[in-house]
Amino acid sequence: MKRQVLATLGTAVLLATAVGCSSGGSAASPGGADPKTATGSVTVWLMDDAQKSWPELVQQVNDQFAAKYPKVELKLSYHSWKDKIAELDAAIATNQAPDVVELGNTETTKYMVNGTLAGLDRTGFDNSDNWIKGLADTCTYNQKLYCVPYYAGARVGVYNAKMFQDATGSADLPQTEEELTAALDKVALRNKSTAGFSALYLPGPYWYAAMSYVTAYGGSIAKFDSSGVWHGTLHDPKSQAGLQHFVNLVKTYNKGDLKVNEAKQAGVLGHEKAALIYANGWELSDAVAPITGTPALKNSLKIVTMPGPNGKPLPSFIGGSDLAVTAKSQNAAIATDWVRMFTSTKSEQVLADKDTLPNNLTQLAPLKNKPATAAAANAVQDAWFTPAAPGWGAVEKQNVLVNMLDSIFKGKSVDDATKEADAQIDQLINNPS
């Protein structure tokens, strides 16, 4: 998950044995030959989030792996989000791909479609019948599993509690959208003398937010039909209703430039030009940092589940990371066993204890009532994800959704804009990008 760009690259090579094996060797099935006699090596690429945030989990799993496979060499390296994809593509091109690789869930589709990843048996992993659906969907292509959910994330409401206290008498964000809009009207009125103030700063081109409202109304970006073809569904009535709802909120509450996207929304909140934003949880840090925000707001800014239409939380785009075994791994069975260990119930509990959302609903449940995690934990259960279609990368690259939103805020009707967007999606989405 691309929570923040991490610019450093750390590398550690862990040996489960002193044997100097090269990648390859003889692969042993975890359920077949004696793992004590298995040889070869397994190369694992993790993001440096693991090195910085839960090194004890990595050590726990590597100790477990070494005990089970004493003659298999485990090579573990840490990579940054900034560089990982370029490094992975280069490794694939030279037949030096790792056996196991961590992928941000927005990165998986490309590699599922182009055959880079090995198919996996879902039943071989803990809690697989209870994985968070949106996260499991990021690992699924043509109804086959190609990676294992690792951890999850979700967008939340980040708001200025003092502004709400001053305007409404309560520092708590209302839990229903009807109550929220009534409170936003009061916040807007109280701050009307502040030029460009947005009670809710919801950027016009913010397609992740727009599609959250589409999902809330039961709509979708695209669907895979019975004939085996993807087609755009933004023009469907439910999708249009959700999109119109988003447009109405933007026009009512965003008093900034509607052509500006969400990239710097934390700064708008942090410089007290907004009372509420819909954001990744880490954006609160930007809002209270020097230059990008105001440190004095540290005790005023809060995170909460974003209220959505119909009395439910607003469905979030699912964030997170997955673990995959590459198709050309020479020790695929053992590599798969490492993934099984790293995503076991015991391992996922280490993440949950660190306020990181685990991959399954059972271990997620206690985090719904914990102040530090409640907002994201409550948002993630009904989260959505982009279509796992061969050409989705091209749809994003050509800014189909952004252009659709821009055209609406320039005056085009939702009906006409969604027809045009669906036509473009239909041209792109079925062709490998």
**DSSP 8-state class, residue 325:** E
pLDDT tens sequence across 214-254:
999 999 999 999 888 999 999 999 999 999 999 999 999 99
pLDDT-derived band of residue 32, with 50, 70 and 90 as boundaries? low
Q: Mean pLDDT across the stretch 58-86?
A: 97
Question: Which DSSP helix (H) or strand (E) runs through 104?
Answer: strand 100-104
pLDDT over threshold 50, residue 16: no
Instruction: Report the amino acid identity of residue 409.
Output: F
Position with higher pLDDT, 419 vs 372: 419
| Mean pLDDT rounded to a whole number for the chain | 91
Q: Of 16-20, 325-329, 378-382, where does the model show the most confidence?
A: 325-329
Q: Mean pLDDT across the stretch 266-294?
A: 96
Question: Which DSSP helix (H) or strand (E) runs through 177?
Answer: helix 177-190
Cα–Cα distance between 2 and 81 in angstroms, integer? 7
Instruction: Report the amino acid identity of residue 63.
Output: D
Instruction: Report the amino acid identity of residue 34.
Output: D
CB burial string 258-295: b at 16+ within 10 A, e below: bebebeebbbbbbebbbbbbbbbbebbbbbbeeeebbe
Q: Tell me the Ramachandran region of residue 189: left when phi exceeds 0, alpha when psi lies from -120 to 50, beta otherwise.
A: alpha
Tell me what pLDDT residue 300 has. 97
Cα–Cα distance between 164 and 182 in angstroms, integer? 11
Cα–Cα–Cα angle for 200, 206, 210, rounded to 5 degrees: 85
Tell me what pLDDT residue 382 has. 83
Cα–Cα distance between 270 and 288 in angstroms, integer? 6
Cα–Cα distance between 112 and 95 in angstroms, integer? 17
pLDDT over threshold 90, residue 1: no
pLDDT over threshold 60, residue 53: yes
Q: Where are the beta strands (DSSP E) in 271-361?
A: 274-280, 301-304, 319-325
pLDDT tens sequence across 348-400:
999 999 999 999 999 999 999 999 899 999 988 889 999 999 999 899 999 99
pLDDT over threshold 80, residue 36: yes
Cα–Cα distance between 114 and 93 in angstroms, integer? 13
Q: Mean pLDDT across the stretch 274-284?
A: 95
Q: Tell me the Ramachandran region of residue 40: left when phi exceeds 0, alpha when psi lies from -120 to 50, beta otherwise.
A: left
pLDDT over threshold 80, residue 176: yes
Q: What is the signed CA dihedral for 11, 12, 13, 15, rounded to 10 degrees?
A: -170
Compute φ and ψ for 280, nearest 5 degrees: -70, 145
pLDDT-derived band of residue 17, with 50, 70 and 90 as boundaries? very low
Q: Mean pLDDT across the stretch 190-215?
A: 97
pLDDT-derived band of residue 161, with 50, 70 and 90 as boundaries? very high
Specify the pTM: 0.84
Tell me what pLDDT residue 19 has. 30
pLDDT over threshold 90, residue 13: no
